[in-house]
Amino acid sequence: MHIAEGFLPAPHAIGWTVAAAPFVVHGARAVVKEVREHPESTLLLGAAGAFTFVLSAIKLPSITGSSSHPTGTGAGAVLFRPPVMALLGTVVLLFQALLLAHGGLTTLGANAFAFAVVGPWAGYGAYRLARALGAGLLPGVFVALALADLATYVTTSLQLALAFPDAAGGFAGAVVKFLGVFALTQVPLALAEGLLGVLLFRVLTTSARPELERLGLLPAVPAEERG
Amino acid sequence: MSAGLAVDDAAWASAWRTRAPLDKLLLCGGLVVCALVLPAWPGSVLVALTAVALALGPARVPARTFGRAVRWPLAFVATGALTAVVSVDGGGLGWAPDAAARAGDLVGHSVAGGAAVLLLATTTPVSDLLPVLRRLRVPAAVVEVASVTYRLLFVLLDSLRTIREAQANRMGYSSVRRSYRSSGALAAAVLTRSFDRARRMQEGLAGRGMETGLRVLPEALPSSPAFLAASAAGLATLLTVGLVA
């Protein structure tokens, strides 16, 4: 769920762009540094961006009967860390605006803040917390993806409430309204995305174990023990 | 069946494909700004009509593509605008004062802005816009990652469709439980394939002596003074009519 082009008044569009900019610039610096040190990462990072875009094209059956699309940033945050996702997420948003007419250019800053900054950080934070509390990889992945999705939707609702306070209830009233309307689709979707993440990582732990070990998600097992 | 995205296909086939990307960016950027700052009536309506007329007329974008592309944003705009103008007062729901005018404003700005962005999207392939980012001083490494993303995206979408079709033919989506299992396996297969492909491409390029990124000759798309002058005149007219009326 991205805010459509032209939906936010100009001051809000500018304000959110300014708010998202430091994170995206920080992400860009991380990518430039990574590419300078490991030129071969260009293709890997490009693949990660393309995967995030394509993940949002997978339709998940939702409890409410309709089907929904995952945000895909939670998986990226676990695999590649939030700073890189701030940049990749923004690139994906730009492509979604230009290739699918999802979101927009003046609302790119607001959407980047929710989708590429808050979502990945919330998901990654939840993942680290779950792992620190002793949870395994899969429960960690579930909370990361579900929370990244939920945090994105809550942020979008707050952005809309700030732009359109309720006539009677003010900002608080508007928050309740927007959260309520979008909760119908987004809460089942968050759970569905968490579940998809578990299934995804379960396959990855068997088919792409060396990659997960290299990314530090699983403890490295010496080759001779792997059999 | 085309493996592409309808908007991207339209951009490559558009009659404006050979126009300079910066020319189109200036025109569409101007329209986007007009859509945002002009009052909804008559400004937004004029901007929307201009964008649609330019797309379907001189740029020769198929009306079907244009129409289909606006469906999703319209669903968001309708839900969002409706929510914005409903008022929660003491537990009861009611219309906010001037609800119709506010909803009209919101829908007007969004539809006009959306049409302006879509005019750019359906006439300019993303690969033409990325070099413009470079001129806006976005670091080369970032533009390169973005261009790899753009190029791999279609390969992955193709894999996604093929795998999903194979899964569906094997009853992989016959129940909710199976749908989830299949979706998880689908995401994992696409991820491992994308990384595998990236690694093999990297090895292939390294074998050919690539050191500092993928260098491609940019296609020369010269800027047209007449197009720029017409854009400036059109935008000035829109601004004048929008502000005075």
Could you report the per-residue pLDDT of A172-192, keeping only the tens digit for each? 888 888 888 888 778 888 888
Q: What is the mean pLDDT of residues B194-215?
A: 77
Q: Which residues of B touch A80 (CB under 8 A)?
A: none
Put simply, whether B67 touches A (Cβ < 8 Å) is no
Could you report the per-residue pLDDT of B74-114, keeping only the tens digit for each? 888 888 888 888 877 666 677 877 788 888 888 999 999 99
Q: pLDDT over 90 for what percent of chain B?
A: 44
Across the interface, whether the CB atoms of A198 and B111 are under 8 A apart is answered: no
Confidence at residue B80, expressed as pLDDT on a 0 to 100 scale: 85
Q: How far is A19 from chain B (nearest CA, A)?
A: 18
Across the interface, whether the CB atoms of A95 and B129 are under 8 A apart is answered: no
Confidence at residue B120, expressed as pLDDT on a 0 to 100 scale: 95
Q: Which residues of B touch A1 (CB under 8 A)?
A: 76
Q: Using CB atoms, pick whichever of B83, B184, B199 lies closest to residue A199.
A: B184
Domain ranges of chain A: 10-217
Count CA within 13 A, CB hemisphere, residue A122: 21
Could you report the per-residue pLDDT of A65-77, keeping only the tens digit for each? 455 677 888 888 9
Confidence at residue B181, expressed as pLDDT on a 0 to 100 scale: 87
Confidence at residue B108, expressed as pLDDT on a 0 to 100 scale: 92
Q: How far is B79 from chain A (nearest CA, A)?
A: 8
Across the interface, whether the CB atoms of A54 and B157 are under 8 A apart is answered: yes
Please provide the distance, in angstroms rounded to a whole number, between the alpha carbons at the two ends of chain B: 48
Choose the CATH number for A10-217 among 3.40.50.720, 1.10.10.1100, 1.10.1760.20, 1.10.357.10: 1.10.1760.20
- Phi/psi at A60 (nearest 5 deg)? -110, 135
- Output the pTM of the full model: 0.91
Across the interface, whether the CB atoms of B76 and A174 are under 8 A apart is answered: no
B229: which residues sit within 8 A by CB, 6+ positions away? none
Could you report the per-residue pLDDT of A115-128, keeping only the tens digit for each? 999 999 999 999 99
At residue A51, does pLDDT exceed 80? Answer: yes
Residue in chain B nearest A196 by alpha carbon: B184
Q: Are A144 and A125 in contact (CB under 8 A)?
A: no
Across the interface, whether the CB atoms of B160 and A58 are under 8 A apart is answered: yes
State the average pLDDT for chain B. Answer: 87
Q: What is the mean pLDDT of residues A139-165?
A: 92
Segment among A132-141, A175-184, B148-157 with least mean pLDDT: A175-184
Tell me the ipTM for this assembly.
0.91
Q: Using CB atoms, pick whichever of A36, A47, A97 lies closest to residue B195.
A: A47
Burial-class residue B134 by CB neighbours within 10 Å (0-12, 13-18, 19+). middle
Segment among A37-41, B102-106, B128-132, B234-238 with least mean pLDDT: A37-41
Across the interface, whether the CB atoms of B36 and A10 are under 8 A apart is answered: yes
Peptide bond into B42 cis (omega under 30): yes
